[in-house]
């Protein structure tokens, strides 16, 4: 039902108004499209009209979320506006936005852009969670957020090192034909992790800490027999670990260590998908204390907006396996 009411959002200044509205009022256009309303900006005030009352209220919530992000140091970009819209639709507002992590040396905190990312960040930062599974499609921020928390913990002295590992399996590739030892062979496949680390630390500090052993690449094949103490362990592409490899990996945790295990069960490259240790572990460990599982979907993709629609189309054709006897997210 279409209403005729008008609600207003007052910004701190005309400069803040310009940031929120975006170049050529592009952010307001996104707001209008998302909630079927009209947005008019003038004199430090954004007036929301048209649509129905819930739509206008959600539009106000999105503006409040974005304004708070700007105060925290973020740039009011289109991705931030899309994030504000997601939280507003999920029932959040500017005073109750997602969890975030502040990385020393970075002007703005790293903040989740979807409600599930917020739950994932909360789980990673909760001392009660020694093991967190992030499960879902690529582009949902699993690795980026895990790296952000790991770097914050390293710089704060809560851990002594960051360890990154992944199975040496890749669709359509034969690692044996690549030059170098196994570590050098899988290094290119860890580029998203390296990019995130460089973004948070800068090139010089990243290279220095890597050379000092504070940032370590540990191919899954080299993990057997080790005890990983005082570390933040990030496991990438975990869907390609076998059941035995997953058991071996999860039992490496030592005192003062935590682990983030990320993977996409729809992208298993093993000869037999049933051998995936990720799917097996999710079912086997769902009642174990100290473990949290956060499941992402197409709506959590934070790349180009088209990517989310592409992922949704593939999921519609082959729906991801979800255990029917458990909630979407589990853990303390």
Indicate the average pLDDT of the chain: 83
Q: What is the pLDDT of residue 186?
A: 61
99, pLDDT greater than 80: no
144, pLDDT greater than 90: yes
Q: What is the pLDDT of residue 93?
A: 46
Q: What is the pLDDT of residue 287?
A: 87
CB of 280 closer than 8 Å to CB of 243 = yes
Which residues, in sequence order, are CB contacts of 201 under 8 Å at separation 6+? 151, 209
Rounded Cα distance between 138 and 237, Å, is 10
24, pLDDT greater than 80: yes
Rounded Cα distance between 305 and 289, Å, is 37
Query: Which CATH code fits 6-97?
Result: 3.30.1370
Rounded Cα distance between 139 and 300, Å, is 8
325, pLDDT greater than 50: no
CA 185 → CA 50, 189, 219, distances in Å? Answer: 57, 8, 10
- What would the mean pLDDT of 14-18 be, rounded to a whole number? 84
Does the model's pTM come out above 0.85?
A: no
- What would the mean pLDDT of 177-199 be, rounded to a whole number? 71
CB of 112 closer than 8 Å to CB of 99 = yes
- What would the mean pLDDT of 27-36 be, rounded to a whole number? 93
Rounded Cα distance between 192 and 140, Å, is 13
- What would the mean pLDDT of 9-23 be, rounded to a whole number? 86
Where do you find CATH 3.30.1370 in the chain?
6-97
Residue with the larger pLDDT of the pair 2 and 14: 14
Rounded Cα distance between 304 and 181, Å, is 35
Q: Encode pLDDT of 246-257 as tens digits.
A: 999 999 999 999
Q: Encode pLDDT of 256-310 as tens digits.
A: 999 999 999 888 888 888 889 999 999 999 889 999 999 998 888 876 667 667 7
- In the chain, % of residues over pLDDT 70: 84
- For residue 229, the SS3 value is coil
- What would the mean pLDDT of 97-126 be, rounded to a whole number? 84
Q: What is the pLDDT of residue 235?
A: 94
- DSSP labels, 165-194: E--S--TT--GGGSSS-HHHHHGGGGHHHH
Where do you find CATH 3.40.50.300 in the chain?
101-317
Query: Which CATH code fits 101-317?
Result: 3.40.50.300
The pairing of beta strand 258-263 with beta strand 131-135: parallel
Q: What is the pLDDT of residue 218?
A: 79
CA 256 → CA 19, 48, 227, 262, distances in Å? Answer: 43, 50, 11, 20
CA 76 → CA 18, 25, 34, 70, distances in Å? Answer: 9, 11, 17, 6
Q: What is the pLDDT of residue 215?
A: 95
Q: What is the pLDDT of residue 323?
A: 45
Confidence of residue 191 (pLDDT cuts 50, 70, 90): confident
Q: E strands, the chain, where?
A: 6-10, 38-42, 45-49, 100-101, 110-111, 131-135, 161-165, 215-217, 231-235, 258-263, 291-295
């Amino acid at each position: 039902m279409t209403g005729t009411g008008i609600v207003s959002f007052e910004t701190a200044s005309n400069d803040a108004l310009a940031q929120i509205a975006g170049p050529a009022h592009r952010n307001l256009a996104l707001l209008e499209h998302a909630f079927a309303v009209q947005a008019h900006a003038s004199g430090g005030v954004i007036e929301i009209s048209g649509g129905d009352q819930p739509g206008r209220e959600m539009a106000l919530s999105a503006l409040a979320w974005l304004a708070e992000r700007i105060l925290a140091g973020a740039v009011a970009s289109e991705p931030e506006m899309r994030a504000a819209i997601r939280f507003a639709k999920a029932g959040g507002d500017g005073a109750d936005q997602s969890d975030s992590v502040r990385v020393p040396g970075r002007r703005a905190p790293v903040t989740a852009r979807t409600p599930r990312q917020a739950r994932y960040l909360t789980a990673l930062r909760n001392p009660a969670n020694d093991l967190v599974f992030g499960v879902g499609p690529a582009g949902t921020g699993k690795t980026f957020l895990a790296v952000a928390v790991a770097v914050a913990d390293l710089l704060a002295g809560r851990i002594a090192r960051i360890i990154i590992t992944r199975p040496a399996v890749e669709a359509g590739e034969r690692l044996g034909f690549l030059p170098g030892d196994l570590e050098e062979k899988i290094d290119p496949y860890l580029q998203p992790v390296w990019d995130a680390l460089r973004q948070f630390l800068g090139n010089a500090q990243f290279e220095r800490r890597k050379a000092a052993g504070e940032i370590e690449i540990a191919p899954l094949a080299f993990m057997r027999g080790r005890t990983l103490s005082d570390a933040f362990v990030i496991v990438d592409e975990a869907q390609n670990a076998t059941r035995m490899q997953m058991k071996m990996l999860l039992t490496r945790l030592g005192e003062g260590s935590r682990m983030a295990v990320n993977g996409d069960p729809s992208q298993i490259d093993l000869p037999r998908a049933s051998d995936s240790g990720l799917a097996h572990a999710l079912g086997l460990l769902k009642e174990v204390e100290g473990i949290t599982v956060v499941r992402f979907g197409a709506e959590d993709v934070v790349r180009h907006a088209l990517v989310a629609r592409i992922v949704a189309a593939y999921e519609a054709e082959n729906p991801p396996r979800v255990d029917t006897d458990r909630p979407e997210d589990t853990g303390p």
